[in-house]
Amino acid sequence: MLDLINEKSARKDYILIGLFAVAMLTMPIWLAPFGANYPDLMQRFAIFGIFATGFNILFGLTGYLSFGHAAFLGVGSYTAVWSFKLLGMNPIPAIIMAVLVAGLFALVIGFISLRRTGIYFSILTLAFAQMSYNLAYSVLTPITNGETGLRVLNSDPRIFDDKDAEYSGSLLSNLFGVEMTGMAGFYFCAIILIITVFIAMRIFSSPFGMMLKAVKTNQNRLNFTGVNTRPYTLAAFVISGMYAGLAGSLMAIIDPLAGAERMQWTASGEVVLMTILGGTGTIIGPILGAGLIKYFENIFSAFNDQTLNAFFGFLPETLREGVVAVTSLFVGEGWHLSLGVLFMIIVIFLPGGLVEGMQRIFNTIVAKGQNKDTASSETKSSPAVGE
Amino acid sequence: MDVILLQILNGLDKGAAYALIALGLTLIFGTLGVVNFAHGALFMLGAFVAVTINKILSLENVVLSETETTAWGTPLEIRTPIAQEWFGDFGLVLVDYSVPLSILIAVPFMLMIGIFMERGLVRFFYKRPHAEQILVTFGLAIVIQEIVKAMYGANPIQQNAPEAFRGAVDLGIMIGSDPGVIVYPIWRLVYFGFSAIVIGAVFAFLQFTTFGMVVRAGMADRETVGLLGIDIDRRFTIVFGIAAVVAGVAGVMYTPILPPDYHIGMEFLVLSFVVVVVGGMGSLPGAVAAGFVLGILQSFASMTQVRDALAVLGLIGLDQIIIYLVAIVILLVRPRGLMGRKGVME
């Protein structure tokens, strides 16, 4: 029976991942109308998609809200850059090393943090992330290069690299001769995203995933029935940390430098926001959230007073000044303010994220179609907001 | 001996700030069961009340001099603080004492902010999961921070203590040690005394007033108090306001010690969480005690002698993370914290 379900869900997963792969790889085409089809931005879509997908494995499945995931991202970045420095500019060893080190790091932090649940867990992970951040800035300067950030130098050992080769400009990561920049970099990230999303899908529909969902629903009951939940949550935490490490290493691959600011609590908060914006516990939600936030960050940050004035050019002079003054708070430097407001709105009104929102709209439309002959007043009673 | 005393003193001011923030966090958690991630932002708001009052008081009237000129030949600008024009020399005293004076404004302002926050936002989240409570207050913290950043810029803004409290005092002479060993900035002593008064006032308020008794009863068993016909929700709202005031005045008085910038709150918040965890969630004395203990511990760990001794053992940079390490050990050994009640949030 279970096999049958697994087989069915597996077939569904294959179809979904196929569609997703097509969507990802054709991104440069269908993003063109939005003006977002340049590689730098699409690379970020993919990288943060991986990060958010990983975070979702922990938060979406088990309900453990980690506020320190950026630490793993930072660790991944540092490891990748060190791999470049020591082993050469090939991204494959960098990724493997970063995932392993981040996983190890997550194992230690998770082992301690997961002794507590709920609020305590969030506080503990936040404290750990802050601790890593402090360390990266101060004591670990020999490893992290402190405020300057870690970068690859021509004089580094890079034992597998062809040292005689002429380098023009800064060192770039290259996969057997293909430089990981521009579109090549994007496709590299996109393929890794597709693989990781497929793994996440399989985790979601596996017995392991079911167990994690049970932890989220009622951990006490699970404990009472004699199940030790700790190994499951720890596994989820480590997997999620590895995803973050992978995302961090990709960041370093695209641009071979690493800085401590990647570990700051704002970065941890950002991935939480991405996951929640899209829809916690869904496969596509976090990727959607990551894409939207990076897209709007890109657009909003580029605005300044001049572009705003041009944008509101149709308004009369006096009104325009007021509107520009207010909106300029939210764009450019103030992009984080819009992010905070968005964050609050989503948490207050739509805790299920955009995916839930779309489902609601879809359901309302379907219900409307069915009740066309009967009194349509019923359909207006949409689910109460903020339950 | 003297060195130890000096380090204890050094830890006191930071410990006092931790204790005040942790006290507010614990008050809110104990009454309403919400972990307020925006509490650091309240501390920061308090600090910026001081900045604003200082700016208002030191507004200047610029008059171009008719007779004198500057070295460039342009008329000399004569700047006089408006406060001086209005109140004479007393106006200058006002400018000098802008930080302590800010408390008068900060108390009603923070009370209002606190009550507004509870009524307008937090109360809708009592029945929702903890994760959502954390997230919404976290979002609020970002919004408050960014508004302050938009208004005051990203750079720290230096505030001065009143003239009379600047400089340092040699405490060593008083206890009979050599002069110049225990020299301590006066304002930090003031801060410590101030925080002791605030903490004492909060405890007295909870212990000796009817209002405080009801609040304590509500912390123990909210439902029963409600069944007795007491409007416990309204009282808890005021408790939230008080917690905001405590964080706010802590921020006001801290400005001469550390120039405030828009993310000062988050740095203090993370450490205050650790303090709360160490002290025991829901225990007010625990929060205060842990605040001071951790503050002093941090100052000891940053002592040169201790650092050298630890470096020999291979523990470099322990001073940066000592607080976190203590928290981890406490959580592993005694999950309810130093003074936590049995069964509360274990």
Question: Three-class SS string for chain A?
Answer: CHHHHHHHHHHHHHHHHHHHHHHHHCHHHHCHHHCCCCHHHHHHHHHHHHHHHHHHHHHHHHCCCCCCHHHHHHHHHHHHHHHHHHHCCCHHHHHHHHHHHHHHHHHHHHHHHCCCCHHHHHHHHHHHHHHHHHHHHCCCHHHHCHHHCEECCCCCCCCCCCCCCCCCCCCCCEECCEECCHHHHHHHHHHHHHHHHHHHHHHHHCHHHHHHHHHHHHHHHHHHCCCCCHHHHHHHHHHHHHHHHHHHHHHHHHCCEECHHHHCHHHHHHHHHHHHHHCCCCCHHHHHHHHHHHHHHHHHHHCCHHHHHHHCCCCCHHHHHHHHHHHCCCCHHHHHHHHHHHHHHHHHHCCCHHHHHHHHHHHHHHHHHHCCCCCCHHHHCCCCCCC
Statement: residue A378 has pLDDT above 50: no
A contacts of B135 (beta carbons < 8 Å): 65, 272, 276, 343, 347
Instruction: Give the β-pairing of B60-69 and B75-81.
Output: antiparallel
Give yes or no for residue B331 having a pLDDT over 80.
no
The DSSP bridge partners found for residue B316 are: none
Q: Is the pLDDT of residue A383 over 50?
A: no
The average pLDDT across A143-156 equals 77
Residue from B328, B329, B336 whose CB has the most chain A CBs within 10 Å, to mutate: B328
Report the pLDDT value the prediction gives residue A233, as an integer from 0 to 100. 93
- Joined tokens for residue A48: 């943060």
Mean pLDDT of the B274-284 span: 84
Axis crossing angle, helix A69-87 with helix A230-254, rounded to the nearest 10: 50
- pLDDT bracket for residue A386 (50, 70, 90): very low
Task: Find out whether B40 and B269 touch, Cβ atoms under 8 Å.
Answer: yes
pLDDT tens, position by position, A67-86: 889 999 999 999 998 988 88
On whether the CB atoms of residues A17 and A198 are closer than 8 A, the answer is yes
Which residue is it, tokens 């004699």?
Answer: A226
Q: How many residues does chain B have?
A: 346
Of the ranges A318-327, B254-263, B325-334, which is most confident? Answer: B254-263
Segment A264-285 shows an average pLDDT of 87
CA atoms of A107 and A239, how far apart (whole Å): 9
Is A265's Cβ below 8 Å from some Cβ in B?
Answer: yes
Among A284-293, B137-146, B306-315, which is the least confidently predicted range?
A: B306-315
CA distance B267 to chain A (A): 9
Non-local CB neighbours of A1 within 8 Å, separated by 6+ positions:
none
* Positive/negative CA dihedral, B15, B16, B20, B23: positive
- Do B171 and B184 meet the contact criterion of CB atoms below 8 Å apart? yes
- Tell me, rounded to whole angstroms, the distance of Cα A284 from its chain centroid: 11
Chain B residues closer than 8 Å to A386 by CB: 124, 128
Cβ contact A344–B316 (<8 Å):
no
Question: Chain B residues contacting A, CB < 8 Å?
Answer: 35, 121, 124, 128-132, 134-136, 138-143, 145-147, 149-150, 266, 270, 273-274, 276-277, 281, 316-317, 320-321, 324, 327-328, 331-332, 335, 345
B47 Ramachandran zone, left/alpha/beta (phi>0; psi -120 to 50)? alpha
| Tokens describing residue B176 | 């009979």
What's the whole-number mean pLDDT along residues B151-163? Answer: 84
Question: CA of B315: how far to CAs of A131, A142, A286, A347, B321, in Å?
Answer: 15, 15, 40, 42, 11
**How many residues would you count in chain A?**
387
How many other C-beta atoms lie within 10 A of the C-beta of residue A368?
13
CB A308 within 8 A of CB A324: yes
pLDDT of residue B48 exceeding 80 = yes
Check: CB of residue B40 under 8 Å from CB of residue B265.
yes
Q: Is the pLDDT of residue A5 over 70?
A: no
Q: Which of A135, A337, A339 has the CB atom closest to B317's CB atom?
A: A135
Residue B119: predicted pLDDT: 92
pLDDT of amino acid B196: 93
Cα B58 to the center of its chain, rounded Å: 24
Q: ipTM more than 0.85? A: no
Who among A120, A333, A344 is closest to B143 (CB)? A344
Which residues, 6 or more positions from B112, have their beta carbon under 8 angstroms from its beta carbon?
B241
Interface contact A127-B273, CB threshold 8 A: yes
Closest-CA residue of chain B to A139:
B317
Interface of A with B in 278-337 (CB under 8 A): 329, 333-334, 336-337
Distance CA A219, CA A372 (A): 43
Residue B205: pLDDT band with limits 50, 70, 90: very high
Residue A385 binned pLDDT confidence (cut-offs 50, 70, 90): very low
Q: How many CB atoms lie within 10 A of CB A302?
A: 11
The shortest CB-CB distance from B130 to any of A119, A130, A343 is to A119
Q: Among A202, A195, A193, which residue's Cα sits nearest to residue A13?
A: A202
CA–CA min distance B43, chain A (Å): 18
Interchain contact, A119 vs B345, CB within 8 Å: yes
A207-254 tens-digit pLDDT? 898 889 988 888 888 889 888 888 999 999 999 999 999 999 999 888
| b/e per residue A101-115 (b: at least 16 CB within 10 A) | bbbbbbeebbebbbe
Q: Sort out which chain B residues have CB atoms less than 8 A from A115's CB and list them.
A: 331-332, 335
Contact B270 A265 (CB under 8 A): yes
Q: Mind telling me how many Å the CA of B266 is from chain A's nearest CA? A: 9
CA–CA dist B37, B134 (Å, integer): 6
pLDDT band for B343, please (50, 70, 90 cuts).
Answer: low
Q: Confidence class of residue A257 from pLDDT cuts 50, 70 and 90?
A: confident
- Between B73-82, B109-118, B205-214, B312-321, the lowest mean confidence (pLDDT) is in B312-321
Quick one: how far is CA A121 from the chain centroid? 20
Give the dihedral of Cα atoms B147, B150, B153, B158; nearest 10 deg: -30
Q: What is the pLDDT of residue A381?
A: 43
Q: For residue A343, what are the β-bridge partners?
A: none
* Per-residue confidence band for B158, with pLDDT thresholds at 50, 70 and 90: confident
Amino acid found at A123: I
Instruction: Identify all chain B residues contacting A122, using CB atoms and an 8 Å cutoff.
Output: 35, 131, 134
Residue B61 tokens, joined: 């009237």
From the list A65, A123, A138, the residue facing B131 with the nearest CB is A65
Contact A171, A154 (CB under 8 A): yes
**How high does pLDDT run on average in chain A?**
82
Indicate the burial class of A248 (C-beta count within 10 angstroms; 0-12, 13-18, 19 or more).
buried
Which residues does residue B185 pair with via DSSP β-bridges, in sequence order?
B168
Binary contact (A343, B139; C-beta < 8 A): yes
Map tokens 């050019």 to a residue.
A313
Which pLDDT band holds residue A382 (cuts at 50, 70, 90)?
very low
A18 interfaces chain B, CB cutoff of 8 Å:
no
CB contact under 8 A, A344 and B124: no
Cα distance between residue B224 and residue A348, in whole Å: 29
Determine the Cα–Cα distance for residues A253 and A292; give it in Å rounded to an integer. Answer: 23
B208 burial type by CB count under 10 A (0-12 exposed, 13-18 middle, 19+ buried): exposed
d(C-alpha B276, C-alpha A24), whole Å: 45
Q: Which two tokens stand for residue B164?
A: 């009379």
Is the CB of residue A139 less than 8 Å away from at least one CB of chain B? yes
Report yes or no: A80 and A97 within 8 Å, Cβ to Cβ. Answer: yes
Tens digits of per-residue pLDDT, A314-350?
A: 777 777 777 777 777 777 777 888 888 888 888 888 8
> CB distance B146–A122 less than 8 Å?
no
Q: Which of residues 57-86 of A touch B (CB under 8 A)?
A: 59, 63, 65, 67
In this prediction, residues A123-143 reach a mean pLDDT of 83
| Contact yes or no for B146/A340 (Cβ under 8 A) | yes
Q: Which amino acid is at B296?
A: I
CB contacts, 8 Å: B281 with chain A: 119-120
Structure tokens at A106: 């997550």
Predicted structure pTM score: 0.84
* Contact: A116, B128; criterion CB under 8 Å: no
CB proximity A353 to B under 8 Å: no
Going by pLDDT thresholds of 50, 70 and 90, the confidence category of residue B250 is very high
Q: How confident is the model at residue A183 (pLDDT cuts 50, 70, 90)?
A: confident
The yes-or-no verdict on residue B80 having pLDDT over 80 is no
What's chain B look like in SS3?
A: CHHHHHHHHHHHHHHHHHHHHHHHHHHHHHHHCCCCCCHHHHHHHHHHHHHHHHHHHCCEEEEEEEEEECCCCCEEEEEEEHHHHHHCHHHHHHHHCHHHHHHHHHHHHHHHHHHHHHHHCHHHHCCCCHHHHHHHHHHHHHHHHHHHHHHHCCCCCCCCCCHHHCCEEEHHHHCCCCCCCCEEEHHHHHHHHHHHHHHHHHHHHHHHCHHHHHHHHHHHCHHHHHHCCCCHHHHHHHHHHHHHHHHHHHHHHHCCCCCCCCCHHHHHHHHHHHHHHHHCCCCHHHHHHHHHHHHHHHHHHCCHHHHHHHHHCCCCCHHHHHHHHHHHHHHHHCCCCCCCCCCCCC
- Rounded Cα distance between A266 and A259, Å, is 14
Residue A384 in this model has a pLDDT that exceeds 50: no
